[in-house]
Amino acid sequence: MKIRKSNPTNVAPPIAQYSHVSVIPRDAELVVLSGQIGNNIDGVLPSDIESQFANAIENIKLILQSEGMETNSVFKINIWLTEPINREVYTEIWSSFHNQSPPATTLAYASALARPDIKVEVEAWAAR
């Protein structure tokens, strides 16, 4: 099963690393992940947003692995941040996740998440 990701030429190109469109094959099984925060396996939540983002992305990878899936199975991802993030660090982490085939993506800033110490939440939709 191959998810087709594209950027139509009749709209402006993406302003960052994402695809405008993800097309899922008709016979695919959808796998929806709850929003992942930036804690590690022991539940420890780092204080900085960059580490929280790295952990949230790693949590998504681990959940996908538990389902026998890879990151290229992700067709939509939503990222919420509560404060500015170092753009170089963000880009490095994000690039390592999508391996030159970014899914449809939303990046937004929120005034707060579930707890005051949570600075990042990442939700993913995948297909197999």
More confidently predicted of 13 and 82: 82
Domain ranges of the chain: 40-127
109 class by beta-carbon count within 10 Å (0-12 exposed, 13-18 middle, 19+ buried) = exposed
Strands ordered across the beta sheet of 74-81: 30-32, 120-127, 74-81, 104-109
The enclosing H or E element of 1 equals: none
Q: Which two tokens stand for residue 43?
A: 């539940």
How many degrees, rounded to 5, is the angle at CA 55 between CA 49 and CA 60?
125
List, for residues 6-39, the tens digit of each pLDDT value: 999 999 988 888 899 999 999 999 999 999 999 9
What pLDDT is attached to residue 103? 95
Per-residue model confidence as pLDDT tens digits over 28-73:
999 999 999 999 999 999 999 999 999 999 999 999 999 999 999 9
CATH of 40-127, one of 1.20.120.530, 3.30.1330.40, 3.30.559.10, 3.40.1190.20: 3.30.1330.40
d(CA 14, CA 22) in angstroms, rounded, equals 13
Predicted TM-score (pTM) of this structure: 0.91
